[in-house]
Amino acid sequence: MKLIYKCIIGAAIVGLLWLGGRWFAPDRAPVVVPSPPMAEESIPVSLSQRPVARPPAERLDGPDVQAVMRQLFGQSASGKYSGWSAAELIDALGSEGLDAKERQRMLWALCRLDDPEARAFLHAFVNDDGADEYLRATVLDGLSAADQRWAYDLTVSALGSESAVVARAAIRALGNYGGDSATAILSELAFDFEADPAIALVAAEALGQLGSAEAAQVLMDLFEQGVTDGQDDAIEFALAGLGCIDSDEGRGYLKEVYELASDPEIRVRLFEGLEESTGDVSEISRLGLLDPDDEVRAAAAWALAYADEPGMDGAEVMGFIAAEADPDVRRYLYQALDGADGVDAAQLMAQMAVESNPDAKLAACQATCRELSMDSDPAAFLDLLKGELIELRSDGALSENQMAIIDGLLEQVGRLEL
């Protein structure tokens, strides 16, 4: 019994001495044992399976992950990781606390590094069927955007992925890499539209984005085959691809297609395919706006209204509006004024006043309001615009959405009057 008491008393004394040392000892930095570096062959493939890294301060998880990252690596919360090494990015990607957007940003940064460790990780990650398909697609997009030629074969192999998201990303990446080999592969995929229409469409658009003369000729051949054999998918995909060519040469092909297409429906689809076009569409739109078919003219006006670079000034668009009999075409042309320079407010007001179709008149009122908001002295036109809007609002056939638009325009007019 005495022995037991002695053990208890001894343990208590040791505990008190230990606590005293903790209370009165000077502050010391914690001893950090760095993790051993990972060999390339040991890099885990799947982010979901990757063990969480333990940086010196604390684990990269929990509610304030970005704050920890800023503390560790001196990065802002903007997600720009240009100063990070491959090892740091790979470690940080292992955190379960990161949202998808930050993972994408980190992967994008990793794609820009010419580093053996980055290559090994990205190569394994793309080939991991268990990893998130959208993140794998991000890697393929990022590698091609950074022109990482070492990843070309990896991209080709990803075409056979069971994930449609990954396969489409690989096709887009081939369009970025370019070259004869990529053109041949994309051509084969585009012509195989009966087997997989979705893949064929992406391949045709990638050929258009590639933009070479060889790629454009492939799309022309696809179009001609579609017309000859009556294959709607081939026609649609070829037109979509041609619409993606951002060059004068590409728009020359579109003009050739327009002149070859005797069927108005094909001409309509040509202009619908310009939705992805990033260049000046004015030349081909002029042809369409003079077409004898109402639907073709409407499609041409729609393409002009939604183009990044309409290429027409306000006077030319107003000329087409004044000469146009179809209200749907006029409605789109009023919208096209939004991207045009040199719009004459007085001419626009005069056209708005004689506009008889409610839909076209509303579009004219919207265009007028836009122009007056940029006018240094809009007072002379505000009463007329307000009167047109009030009269238009009395039309019982307008939808609730149109009524809401009119109310919004009246509020804008009220602000301009102040």
Same domain, 290 and 257: no
Residue 2 in any domain: the answer is no
Residue 61 in any domain: the answer is yes
Residue 58 confidence class, pLDDT cut points 50, 70, 90: very low
* Nearest by Cα to 325 from 367, 358, 288, 356: 356
Same domain, 250 and 272: yes
Residues pairing with 217 in the sheet: none
Residue 62 in any domain: the answer is yes
Residue 79 in any domain: the answer is yes
Query: At 6, phi and psi to the nearest 5?
Result: -60, -40
Same domain, 286 and 188: no
Question: Which of residues 41 and 314 earns the better pLDDT score?
Answer: 314
Residue 309 in any domain: the answer is yes
Show which of 276, 306, 324 is a domain's final residue. 276
Same domain, 79 and 121: yes
Same domain, 301 and 378: no
Residue 228 in any domain: the answer is yes
Residue with the two structure tokens 């008149």? 361
Same domain, 332 and 374: no
Contact residues for 288 (Cβ-Cβ < 8 A; gap 6+): 258, 267, 270, 271, 296, 297, 299, 300, 301, 303
The answer on pLDDT for 64 being more than 90 is: no
- Residue 70 is predicted with a pLDDT of 36
- Residue 278 is predicted with a pLDDT of 65
Show which of 234, 260, 276 is a domain's final residue. 276
Q: Is the dihedral of CA 266, 268, 271, 275 positive or negative?
A: negative
Least confident of 105-114, 150-159, 342-351, 370-379: 370-379
Contact residues for 125 (Cβ-Cβ < 8 A; gap 6+): 45, 46, 47, 107, 131, 135, 136, 139
- Residue 31 is predicted with a pLDDT of 27
Residue 275 confidence class, pLDDT cut points 50, 70, 90: low
Total domains in the chain come to: 4
For 178-204, the DSSP string reads -SHHHHHHHHHHHH-TTT-HHHHHHHH
- Residue 119 is predicted with a pLDDT of 95
What percent of the chain is modeled with pLDDT above 70? 78
- Residue 310 is predicted with a pLDDT of 65
Cβ-count burial of 225 within 10 angstroms (0-12 exposed, 13-18 middle, 19+ buried)?
middle
Question: For residue 139, how many other CB atoms are within 10 A of its CB?
Answer: 27
Residue 95 in any domain: the answer is yes
How far is the C-alpha of 334 from the C-alpha of 348, rounded, in Å?
A: 9
Question: For residue 352, how many other CB atoms are within 10 A of its CB?
Answer: 23
Q: What is the mean pLDDT of residues 36-42?
A: 31
Instruction: Report residue 360 as tokens.
Output: 């076209």
Which range, 2-11, 217-226, 368-377, is most confident? 217-226
Residue 6 in any domain: the answer is no
The answer on pLDDT for 25 being more than 50 is: no
217: containing domain: 178-276
Same domain, 250 and 286: no
Same domain, 249 and 187: yes
Same domain, 49 and 145: yes
Instruction: Report residue 118 as tokens.
Output: 């980055």
Show which of 276, 301, 321 is a domain's final residue. 276
Residue 246 confidence class, pLDDT cut points 50, 70, 90: confident
Average pLDDT over the chain reads: 79
What stretches of 261-378 show up as alpha helix (H) in DSSP? 264-272, 282-289, 294-306, 314-323, 327-336, 345-354, 358-373
Residue 277 confidence class, pLDDT cut points 50, 70, 90: low
Same domain, 297 and 247: no
Same domain, 113 and 194: no
Residue 34 confidence class, pLDDT cut points 50, 70, 90: very low
Same domain, 197 and 299: no
